[in-house]
Amino acid sequence: MAGAAVTALAAASLPAADRPPDPMARTLEGLMRMIEARHGDSLSAEQLKDVARSVYRSLYAAEQMKKVPLANSDEPAFAFRADVPRSPSRD
């Protein structure tokens, strides 16, 4: 843990060109390049910004989920909803 703090402090003191790239930013950049290559001709600049925000939120959520310690025996969380048929109305 202390090593990470020292690394972050050392990186902050380097010029921007010499800093190691942020892995999440690199992932976002790569995904956005792929999205632009596949769908760029049908998306406006504003839509691409919206897509980038959505992708960033997903990446951030994934990073947060990775921080939750899980054992191999932990069961998945299920949200069960019974699909009960509606009774016909008697109008």
Say if 63 falls within a structural domain.
yes
Integer Cα distance of 26 and 19 in angstroms: 13
Note the pLDDT tens digit of each residue in 24-44. Answer: 999 999 999 999 999 999 999
Confidence of residue 81 (pLDDT cuts 50, 70, 90): confident
Distances (CA, A) of 86 to 39, 61, 79: 41, 36, 21
Full-prediction pTM beyond 0.85?
A: no
Domain encompassing residue 32: 21-67
How many domains does the chain contain in total? 1
Structure tokens at 6: 């020292």
Residue 54 belongs to a domain: yes
3-state SS assignment for residue 89: coil
Domain annotation covers residue 30: yes
Q: What end-to-end distance do the CA atoms of the chain give, in Å?
A: 68
Across 25-44, b (16+ Cβ under 10 Å) vs e yields eeebeebbeeeeeeeeeeee
Inside any domain, residue 15: no
